[in-house]
Structure 1
């Protein structure tokens, strides 16, 4: 099952979208996050933010329980299936999972409150989300790029985190993850004749298309 790699831009869109949907309730949102967030003196301090993680997670959980009916689609994850370990597409090959902003956020929040004493990528994403929601609830305006740059905690800033298939599949119970709904023949309806042959099969999906069409 495929690995999902998430960029920082996606989690920032998640935070901004969450707040936009409940901006008329800014005062209440601020009350939810005030205790956890106002106690943090230095958001770029690894030790301080790590040890405030339980409070930050509890605040986000409370926020989402209150406003889950305001969640919106955020991310489309494509699924493509091959014949076992071969590069050939399976007969039923393609499908898609649509993640809401709230559902997507659980991919990193649920792995952040495990008592770890070192900052992980999911913990960093959780702290950024809490800070964005808190600061937006206070003023309605934030410099999101500055927040993300400041809260790097020694990790690369372009990649937020990754989630392996065993983990994300716990949130998607449909059997369409193992038996996709669209047949492999839809490739011929999407990609014009001759274009697949032009692919350089360096990436796995390009390789699968390349070898399947040569069959």
Structure 2
């Protein structure tokens, strides 16, 4: 099946040195290239999420549902079973609202088990200038 991709940072217990939590680090520049000419109130940023981050997020969801896999089935709507070809946008796009509902239901069902997995330092510049404030 292969190995898991590397993670940016792993926290460890001080007493035992055992690994506690993987943390992905996503540096975010503010403003991004599309909003750097706007007034500060209209700055936007782009968050780039690596495919590795998605793998760890999926593994976390699976791990939380491992004791009760049927609970995952109860939050996933049956409408998604109607998608016949996941490679064709025309088959998937009509189900995007249902997918969003499923993601929300999964996130809410795991609210008490959630742990931080992403650190997002912000690098704020003046327009395109690399000068930090």
TM over 0.5: yes
For 1:10, the equivalent position in structure 2 comes to: 53
Structure-2 residue corresponding to 1:69: 112
Deviations 1:58-100 (A, max 9, x none): 1222222222112122222222345x4543333xxxxxxxxxx
Residue 19 of structure 2 is matched in structure 1 by: none
Across the aligned residues of Structure 1 and Structure 2, the Cα RMSD in angstroms comes to: 2.1
Shift of 1:8: 2.0
The structure with the largest alpha-carbon Rg is: 1
Consecutive unaligned residues of structure 2, counting only runs of 5 or more, are 1-29, 31-44
Is the 2:75–2:106 Cα contact (8 Å) retained in structure 1?
yes
5+ residue gaps, structure 1, are: 91-215
Q: How does 1:71-110 map to 2 (within 5 A)?
A: 71-82=114-125, 84-85=126-127, 86-90=129-133
1:40 to 73, 79, 83: 83
Q: Are 1:32 and 1:59, in contact at CA under 8 Å, matched by a contact in 2?
A: yes
1:21 correspondence with 2:64: yes
8 Å contact from structure 2 (residues 65, 71) kept in 1: no
TM-score, length basis structure 2: 0.55
TM-score normalised by structure 1 residue count = 0.36
Residue 81 and residue 58 in structure 1: after superposition, are their counterparts in 2 closer, same or farther (change >3 A)? closer
CA contact (8 A) 1:18 1:71 kept: no
Question: Which structure shows the higher helix fraction?
Answer: 1
Deviation string 1:133-161 (CA, Å, 9 cap, x unpaired) is: xxxxxxxxxxxxxxxxxxxxxxxxxxxxx
1:32–1:63 CA contact under 8 A, matched in 2: yes
Deviation at 1:51, TM superposition (A): 0.8
Residues 80 and 99 of structure 2 are in contact (CA less than 8 Å); yes or no, is this contact kept in structure 1?
Answer: yes
Q: How many residues align?
A: 89
